[in-house]
Amino acid sequence: MKILKFGGTSVGSAENIKTLLSIVANEKLQSNPVVVLSAMSGVTNLLTDMAEKAERGEDYNNGIKEIENKHFEVIRALLPAASQNPVFTRLKIFFNEIEDLLQSVANLQELSLQTKDQILSYGERCSTFMVSHIATQTIQNAIYVNGAEYIKTDNNFGQAKVNTELTEVLINDFYQTNNSKVLFVTGFISSNSAGRITTLGRGGSDYTAAVWAAALNAEEIQIWTDVNGMMTADPRMVKKAFSLPELSYTEAMELSYFGAKVIYPPTMIPAFMKKIPIVIKNTFQPEFEGTYIKSDAKSSNLPIKGISSIDQISIINLTGSGMVGKAGFSGRLFSLLSREQINVVLITQSSSEHSITFAVKPTDAAHAISFIQKEFELELDAKKLELPEVEGNLAVLAVVGENMKRTPGMSGRLFSALGRNGINVRAIAQGSSEYNISVIIGKDDLSKAVNAVHDAFFTDLKRTLNIFCLGTGNIGKTLFNQLKEQMPFLASNNDLQVKVAGISNTRKMIFNTNGLSLADWESELDTNGEPADLANFVERMKGLNLPNCVFVDNTASEAPIQYYQGIFESSISIVTCNKKGNSADFAQYKSFKNAARKFGVDFYYETNVGAGLPIIRTLKELMMSGDKVARIEAILSGTISYIFNNFKGDAGFYETVKEAQDLGYTEPDPRDDLNGKDFMRKMLILARDAGYPLEASDVKIDNILPEACLNASSVEDFYKELQANAPYFEDLKNKAKNDGKVLRYIGKLEDGKVNISLQMVDDSHPFYMLSGSDNIISFTTNRYKTRPLVVKGPGAGAEVTAAGVFSDIINVGQNH
């Protein structure tokens, strides 16, 4: 025999009651279930509200009308007219009794807990009477049972304690003579030895179900609610939360203690004691298997079962020498708090015994402090104890699961997820059961923390990276295309989901925490974007406080650089192809590196040198393993490389530069390429990464342009000057050709000095053979001494650059 308990929403409307009855009818095919019902959703609140209004002498009549309508609407919808009258009549009697009670409350302007229980009891009585009567239409032998008559309690109105022995006898006696029937039992309500109504407190209908199940040794309790069982986290906070197929009783207890509102486990203890399995089912999706809570839950391979949280908590810190070595101190403290009915959520004590921290509900904090001040007055006066301090605006996050037991690395995983996301942990507690690790963090960080921790533990799910992208030009646009194309690949091969949470260019900006569509981000930005505002873009990114966050700078602008430091400080990683940051003054370059390290995030800029070619990471890996760079020789301007590779035969210089620009090789301002500045930036970044604290002014640059071209005040003028100076470039070309050589613009770092020079090289030079926008770099180091390490390939262009930015982003993802 099974106990089926339905919550408020399941009896909340005609439609839902129909579903409920079909579930009961289906169960009846196996055996007659005992059905426990709650009040219709909203009714208990209405009754409470009316009772309180009556006590204050306010008008409460609208409430009765509302309750009446709720029930009558269902009756009219589900019963044929001829069968409605007996139900109307009985409910009318109930409503009259409620009115009488409220009238006496109003007369006395006093609401005792006893009277309140009496008033609240009508919620379950009305719903259960109504549903049982409707049930008789389709279910044979359905009867109404006032559960208050069989659950006997003490006189603790509002939260009565069950007299188990007596209750079990009464339930069994009743059941013996009625087991051929389908019993519809009121949840939540009970009675004392004098027969007065009492109630079972929070989760009371679950309690009723558990008490009946224990008394009758039921084979299972089904809790029918409106969600898919117990989930790994609150689905309103964590979109990726999923339903758990099985949990142990302990895990269910731990998960529910902090937050998961599906059941209130203390009420299930009678069932736990008798090892009766509990299954949480969804009335609105009956085919869903549900979550099984049982003593022999199959051990799953999930590292944890879930993450629960409380978003409102305060902590109280007690410090002082008076505590050291005093065995009775914490005993006194916590018996005081328990005596005063202050619920302590979590406790930590440092091993020096110099301080105790405990967490309470914010509404209890002030009381706790004043009780402590009274209790420890002597110690406070003698300065053996400091005045207790309260800290508010905090939250608790707890990871829960029996698999954590004796598994090293669990707390490591928790804290590194929190650390990488810049979440400061105020206090920590781990039960010695090792089923639960709880941390106290800032309330504003809770959602970010729960999501980051969920990603860190449930690694079979796709981890989410939230990226905020600045720049939608040549590179930015190409990156979005690549991301769009590679999404399915990333999901299946890297378990990674990249969400573009914000985009800005110089005109407009837009945000979407669910991820902007990569198919139509452009029209989305145009039509729904707000005017761009860089400071605001950065502030909003920080304010959203999303987990696993990356700022991607695809501009050529100096403007974003001033925000890098603050972005790192907010524990947000940066990926950039923009060289302006790393090539400004050395102190700033250094401070970015330090900030990224200090705040535990990544700063990746592979495309600063040689676009997607693995140059920065090659150098970094050499340096990390202790190698020393003796010399770097390199061609690092894709634009100039392209020009020298194609400025041949009849080709004109001006036309070749134009081609390079059209192919997407040049900087937004092509003068930056031709005047050597872009090359200089790359050499400077390499030299710095190789350990030389150089400034831009330390780099000597051979100029390849005539004065007039260098001085051009606009790009348009620049191109005009290139045309006007055609003979100069023709001359250069012919000179090289006549000597059987090619033109090469080569950068060199040696003995800590950097220069970039125009050279004519013959076919014996390793840089002779290049084509397209090829870059080449050769590293001579302690280990690569006689033959250098060489990297060569296309060093400019939108596809290869965006690909480099893309792989930097993926690398950040791998570190999460």
User: Which residues are at the interface with ligand NAI (CB under 6 A)?
Assistant: 470-476, 504-506, 532, 534, 554-557, 559-560, 577-579, 607, 611, 638, 664-665, 667-668, 796-797, 801
Nearer Cβ to ligand LTNE7NMQ, position 74 or 611?
611
Q: Give dist(CA 223, CA 229) in Å, integer.
A: 9
Q: Give dist(CA 232, CA 230) in Å, integer.
A: 7
Q: Give dist(CA 577, CA 579) in Å, integer.
A: 6
The 10 Å CB-count burial string (b at 16+, else e) for 558-585 is: eebbebbeebbebbbbbbbbbbbbbbbe
Nearest in space to 157 (alpha carbons), one of 115, 206, 193, 104: 115
- The interface mask with ligand LTNE7NMQ, positions 672-701, x = CB under 6 A, is -x----x-----------------------
Nearer Cβ to Na ion, position 197 or 777?
777
Q: Is 130 exposed, middle or buried (0-12, 13-18, 19+ CB in 10 A)?
A: buried
Nearest in space to 694 (alpha carbons), one of 777, 609, 585, 785: 585
Nearer Cβ to ligand NAI, position 349 or 565?
565
CB of 753 to ligand NAI, least distance (A): 25
Binding at 606: pick from Na ion, ligand NAI, ligand LTNE7NMQ, none (beta carbon under 5-8 Å per type): Na ion
CB of 558 to ligand NAI, least distance (A): 8
Q: Give dist(CA 413, CA 302) in Å, integer.
A: 14
Q: What is the 3-state secondary structure (H, E, C) of 215-266?
A: HHCCCEEEEEECCCCCECCCCCCCCCCCECCEECHHHHHHHHHCCCCCCCHH
Nearer Cβ to ligand LTNE7NMQ, position 115 or 775?
775
Binding at 475: pick from ligand NAI, Na ion, ligand LTNE7NMQ, none (beta carbon under 5-8 Å per type): ligand NAI
Q: Is 169 exposed, middle or buried (0-12, 13-18, 19+ CB in 10 A)?
A: middle
Nearer Cβ to ligand NAI, position 208 or 472?
472
Q: Determine, following the binding rule CB under 6 A, whether residue 581 of this chain makes contact with ligand LTNE7NMQ.
A: no
CB of 508 to ligand NAI, least distance (A): 9
Tokens of 652: 């004109």
Beta-carbon contacts of residue 403 (< 8 Å; ≥ 6 apart)? 299, 300, 301, 302, 303, 304, 305
Nearer Cβ to ligand LTNE7NMQ, position 576 or 639?
639
Beta strands in 453-495 (DSSP E): 463-470
- The interface mask with ligand LTNE7NMQ, positions 605-644, x = CB under 6 A, is ------x-------------------------xxx-----
For strand 742-750 and strand 753-761, is the pairing parallel, antiparallel, or unpaired?
antiparallel
Nearer Cβ to ligand NAI, position 116 or 677?
677
- 772 phi, psi to nearest 5 deg: 55, -140
- The interface mask with ligand LTNE7NMQ, positions 125-164, x = CB under 6 A, is ----------------------------------------
By 3-state DSSP, what share of the chain in percent is helix, strand and coil, each rounded to 5? 45, 20, 35
- Residue reference for tokens 């000057």: 721
Please identify, among the stretches 78-86, 258-266, 360-368, 662-670, the one whose residues bind ligand LTNE7NMQ according to the rule CB under 6 A. Answer: 662-670
For strand 355-360 and strand 346-349, is the pairing parallel, antiparallel, or unpaired?
antiparallel
Residue 280 in contact with residue 225, Cβ under 8 Å?
A: yes
Binding at 639: pick from ligand LTNE7NMQ, Na ion, ligand NAI, none (beta carbon under 5-8 Å per type): ligand LTNE7NMQ
Which one-letter amino acid corresponds to residue 125? R
Binding at 201: pick from ligand LTNE7NMQ, Na ion, ligand NAI, none (beta carbon under 5-8 Å per type): none
The one among 666, 675, 780, 781 contacting ligand LTNE7NMQ by CB under 6 A = 666
Per the residue annotation, which of 5, 682, 733, 792 is the catalytic one?
Answer: 682
How many CB atoms lie under 10 A from the CB of residue 64?
17
Q: Determine, following the binding rule CB under 5 A, whether residue 606 of this chain makes contact with Na ion.
A: yes
Residue 503 in contact with residue 520, Cβ under 8 Å?
A: no
Binding at 664: pick from ligand NAI, ligand LTNE7NMQ, Na ion, none (beta carbon under 5-8 Å per type): ligand NAI
Paired strand residues for 370: none
Residue nearest to ligand NAI (CB): 473
- Residue reference for tokens 């359905």: 142
Tokens of 390: 């309260």
The one among 795, 802, 804, 816 contacting ligand LTNE7NMQ by CB under 6 A = 795
Residue 109 in contact with residue 57, Cβ under 8 Å?
A: yes
| Interface positions, 607-636, toward Na ion (CB under 5 A) | 610, 613, 615
Nearest in space to 592 (alpha carbons), one of 804, 696, 601: 601
Which one-letter amino acid corresponds to residue 279? V
For strand 603-604 and strand 629-635, is the pairing parallel, antiparallel, or unpaired?
unpaired
CB of 782 to ligand NAI, least distance (A): 29
Please identify, among the stretches 532-540, 602-610, 738-746, 784-792, the one whose residues bind Na ion according to the rule CB under 5 A. Answer: 602-610
Q: Determine, following the binding rule CB under 6 A, whether residue 796 of this chain makes contact with ligand LTNE7NMQ.
A: yes
Beta-carbon contacts of residue 344 (< 8 Å; ≥ 6 apart)? 334, 337, 338, 358, 359, 360
Distances (CA, A) of 381 to 219, 374, 377, 384: 60, 11, 6, 8
Binding at 613: pick from ligand NAI, Na ion, ligand LTNE7NMQ, none (beta carbon under 5-8 Å per type): Na ion
Nearer Cβ to Na ion, position 657 or 685?
685
Nearer Cβ to Na ion, position 229 or 612?
612
Nearer Cβ to ligand LTNE7NMQ, position 522 or 669?
669
Binding at 63: pick from ligand LTNE7NMQ, ligand NAI, Na ion, none (beta carbon under 5-8 Å per type): none
Nearer Cβ to ligand LTNE7NMQ, position 384 or 580?
580
Binding at 615: pick from ligand NAI, ligand LTNE7NMQ, Na ion, none (beta carbon under 5-8 Å per type): Na ion
Binding at 673: pick from ligand NAI, Na ion, ligand LTNE7NMQ, none (beta carbon under 5-8 Å per type): ligand LTNE7NMQ
CB of 576 to ligand LTNE7NMQ, least distance (A): 12
User: Is 677 an active-site residue?
Assistant: no
Paired strand residues for 437: 399, 430
| Interface positions, 248-267, toward Na ion (CB under 5 A) | none
CB of 282 to Na ion, least distance (A): 52
Residue ranges binding Na ion (CB under 5 A) = 606, 610, 613, 615
The residues that are catalytic are 682
Residue ranges binding ligand LTNE7NMQ (CB under 6 A) = 611, 637-639, 665-667, 673, 678, 795-796
